[in-house]
Amino acid sequence: MSESVRPGPQEPSDTAGDGAVERKIERMFYLYGKCLDDDRLEDWPSFFIESGRYVIHPRDNLEAGLEGYWIYCDHRRMIRDRVLSLREANIYNIHYARHLISNVLVIGRDGDVHDVRANYVVLQTDNEGVTHNFSAGEYRAKVVFEDGEPKFAENIVVPDTYLVKALIAIPL
């Protein structure tokens, strides 16, 4: 008697979607990183649907079942408020960011919602020219299509470590 084997949570699903859809989703992730690297924070909310959620949930807390989020925005208006705060109120280290995004995989699909995983590394270069690894981890995203374009219904950023060298100001 043979038992059916289902893909694990980190394995791509053969039925996740067609290649064109997956390429559009992958491209969206790369454009997302480029938007942040170019300091176009005002454009960042456009990657989310109106009810889209952006969360930074460190792996330590996530695996322990704790809610200790670094950032929690549960709709696009909160994401816009975050940008406004960064531009007008917050003071943080001047730096250049570089988002390296890889291994973008659609691992499943439930109706119109694509379950996507991707790795990220964010490097920061300070105004003295010193570059350091700021954060590394995984994006755990739910992606839907709006007017033919992929958008985040949810992007949960899961940093591998709770320790970061500086304040989390800009999005990961």
103 contacts: CB under 8 Å, gap ≥ 6: 117, 118, 119
| pLDDT one-digit tens code per residue, 45-102 | 999 999 999 999 999 889 999 988 888 999 999 998 888 888 887 666 678 899 999 9
The structural architecture, per CATH, of the domain 14-159 is Roll (3.10)
Q: What is the pTM of this model?
A: 0.85
Provide the CA 81 distance to its chain's centre, in angstroms.
18
pLDDT value at residue 83: 86
Share of the chain above pLDDT 70, in %: 85
Q: Output the CA torsion sign for 13, 151, 137, 38.
A: positive
Domain positions in the chain are: 14-159
C-beta of residue 101 within 8 angstroms of C-beta of residue 117: no
